[in-house]
């Protein structure tokens, strides 16, 4: 049986790979994919596996984005410490899941379930169930953010954001019309609220809107310099480790 692991924590990925191969000598872990962007690229170019084990929260977004971008009729076991509402969705749509930290008994249970259903597996029915989950979860991304500005509460449309900027413990929303609003969220919290199809965490300080990118330039030490259509307080530099994921994201 051919298996793909989608996991951005190297230790967890290695442990899961070892558990799988220990439980069943016929299992071959084809590769370990650590990001949404790299997974989309792999599935577009390679033959699908028999089974996928996938984390949910990856460094460049939620793994659900992979299955929205690529048509896959492959059973997926989600490995997660995610919100309870999502777990209920998986249960109601017959998508198996494992709660981290992973243990051998849990993985064995998922393999047994896979072996029970594989001979009766219906790609069309499974695809319909997965799509229900994706639609339900997609609706949880913010479309607007409420900000307190002077004596008013203003709804700022997410689509109108140019970038999010964090410095010295203060996070601001910066719009395409050069408006700046301070919000009571960390940049990490905002990252989970924004659709990763539209927004990318360029570094510790910036989340950028895809539609605001004007130029991408090579920078020192194999990094990238991004110029947006709006002014930024400092240069936006994509680190060497994030360059590949960023370029794959831009191509989506």
pLDDT digits over 180-221, tens only? 999 988 998 898 888 888 999 999 999 999 999 999 999 998
Find out whether 9 and 59 touch, Cβ atoms under 8 Å: no
The percent of residues in the chain predicted with pLDDT above 70, rounded, is 85
pLDDT of 53 > 80? The answer is yes
- Give residues with Cβ within 8 angstroms of 185, minimum separation 6: 171, 193
- Same domain for 165 and 200, yes or no, is yes
Joined together, the tokens standing for residue 204 give: 């510790």
Which of 138, 164, 190 lies at the terminal end of a domain, its last residue? 138
Mark whether 28 and 151 lie in a shared domain.
Answer: no
Clarify whether residues 217 and 167 are in a common domain.
Answer: yes
pLDDT (0 to 100) of residue 85: 44
| Pair 173, 60 in one domain | no
The rounded Cα 170 to chain-centroid distance in angstroms is 25
CA atoms within 13 A on the CB side of 107: 24
Average pLDDT of the residues in 124-150: 70
Q: Mean pLDDT, to the nearest integer, of 123-134? A: 60
Q: What is the pLDDT of residues 55-91, one digit of tens each?
A: 887 877 778 788 888 887 788 888 876 555 455 545 5
Q: State whether 151 and 233 are in the same domain.
A: yes
CATH number of the domain bearing residue 49: 3.40.50.2300
Same-domain status, 162 and 186 = yes
Residue range 16-35: mean pLDDT, rounded: 93
Burial (CB count within 10 angstroms: exposed 0-12, middle 13-18, buried 19+), residue 53: buried
Higher pLDDT, 121 or 167: 167
Is pLDDT larger for residue 131 or for residue 65?
65
Instruction: Say yes or no: 54 and 119 in one domain.
Output: yes
Same domain, 19 and 41: yes
Average pLDDT over residues 42-67: 86
Domain termination site, one of 138, 160, 179: 138
Examine the fold and report which residue of 138, 156, 171 is the final residue of a domain before the chain moves on.
138
In total, how many domains does the chain have? 2
User: What length is written for the chain?
Assistant: 252
Say if residue 101 is in the same domain as residue 154: no
Taking residues 132-141, report their average pLDDT. 62
Among 219, 216, 215, 213, smallest CA distance to 239 is for: 219
pLDDT level of residue 119 (50, 70, 90 thresholds): low
Per-residue pLDDT, averaged over 149-172, amounts to 92
pLDDT at 251 > cutoff 90: no
| Rounded distance between C-alpha atoms, residue 35 and residue 10, angstroms | 12
Between 153 and 164, residue with greater pLDDT: 164
The answer to whether residues 132 and 113 touch, using CB atoms and an 8 Å cutoff, is no
Rg for the chain, CA atoms, rounded: 20
Peptide bond into 101 cis (omega under 30): yes
Residue 77: name the closest of 96, 99, 100 by CA: 96
Same-domain pairing of 7 and 129? yes
Q: What pLDDT, on the 0 to 100 scale, is given for residue 238?
A: 95
Global model pTM greater than 0.75 = no
CB 232 within 8 A of CB 163: yes
By residue range, what is the domain housing residue 178?
144-251
Q: Is the pLDDT of residue 132 over 80?
A: no
CB 180 within 8 A of CB 162: no
Looking at residues 142-159, what average pLDDT do you find? 88
Region 244-250: mean pLDDT is 89
Residue 94 — pLDDT band, cuts 50, 70, 90? very low
Examine the domain organization and report whether 132 and 8 are in the same domain: yes
Lowest mean per-residue pLDDT among 93-107, 156-170, 236-250: 93-107
Mean pLDDT, residues 35-42: 91
- State residue 76's pLDDT score: 86
Q: What is the pLDDT of residue 133?
A: 61
* CATH assignment of the domain containing 170: 2.40.50.1020
Q: Give dist(CA 163, CA 47) in Å, integer.
A: 37
Same domain, 6 and 125: yes
């Amino acid at each position: 049986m051919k298996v793909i692991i989608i996991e951005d924590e190297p230790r967890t990925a290695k442990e899961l790979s070892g558990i799988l191969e220990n439980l069943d000598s016929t299992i071959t872990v084809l590769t370990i994919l650590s990001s949404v962007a790299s997974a989309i690229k792999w599935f577009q170019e390679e033959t699908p596996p028999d089974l996928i084990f996938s984390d949910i929260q990856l460094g460049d977004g939620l793994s659900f984005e992979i299955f929205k971008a690529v048509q896959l009729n492959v059973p997926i076991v989600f490995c997660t410490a995610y919100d309870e509402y999502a777990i209920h969705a998986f249960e109601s749509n017959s998508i198996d899941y494992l709660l981290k930290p992973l243990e051998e008994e849990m993985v064995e249970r998922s393999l047994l379930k896979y072996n029970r259903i594989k001979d009766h597996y219906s790609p069309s029915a499974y695809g319909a169930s997965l799509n229900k989950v994706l639609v339900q979860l997609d609706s949880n991304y913010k479309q607007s953010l409420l900000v307190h500005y002077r004596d008013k509460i203003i709804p700022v449309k997410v689509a109108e954001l140019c970038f999010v900027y964090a410095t010295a413990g203060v996070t601001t929303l910066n719009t395409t019309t050069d408006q700046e609003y301070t919000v009571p969220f960390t940049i990490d919290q905002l990252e989970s609220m924004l659709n990763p199809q539209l927004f990318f965490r360029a570094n510790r300080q910036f989340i950028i809107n895809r539609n605001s990118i004007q130029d991408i330039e090579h920078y020192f030490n194999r990094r990238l310099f991004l110029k947006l259509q709006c002014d930024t307080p400092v240069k936006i530099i994509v680190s060497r480790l994030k360059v590949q994921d960023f370029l794959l994201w831009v191509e989506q």
